[in-house]
Structure 1
Amino acid sequence: MSKLSEAVYRRKEKLIEELIALGIYKKEEHHLYELTLSEIETEYSHEIERKKPLE
């Protein structure tokens, strides 16, 4: 596995773990593991933004 592929894999796994910890297991009908890294990053950003307290 190339260094880039390995880095993408590790980033994807880390974000999936964090989303699962937030109670997110699927996006629409797709399991998180079926999504691309970009899709997972977008979902993670949306969840973090949604969880922020209102100021």
Structure 2
Amino acid sequence: MSYNLRKAVEERRKKLINKLLVCNVYKDKEELMYLTLSELENEYKSIQSNGHPHDNMGSIQWINRNKTL
């Protein structure tokens, strides 16, 4: 595997690990370090499909305004 490809794979793994940690699914970074890139991507996709996009990350809140007609 070339150096650039290896570096790109490691960067993608780091990003996915950080995203999974932010989602509060995994508490320990060590257990994620042993997963391959494909396993990390599958785990992230399954979490994305199961949860609401704003779970544990804040939500959109509408401001009610009184409208005069």
Category of TM-score, reference length = shorter chain: 0.7 to 0.9
Name structure 2 gaps, 5 residues minimum: 54-69
Name structure 1 gaps, 5 residues minimum: none
Residue 33 of structure 2 aligns with which residue? 33
Residue 16 of structure 1 aligns with which residue? 17
% same residue: 40
TM-score, structure 1 as length reference: 0.80
> Deviation digits for residues 6-52 of structure 1, max 9, x if unmatched?
000000000000000001227xxx81110000000000000000013
TM-score, structure 2 as length reference: 0.65
1:4 and 1:48 map into 2 onto residues whose CA distance is 26
Higher strand proportion (structure 1 or 2): 1
Bigger relative contact order, structure 1 or 2 (CA pairs below 8 A, ≥6 apart):
1
Higher helix proportion (structure 1 or 2): 1
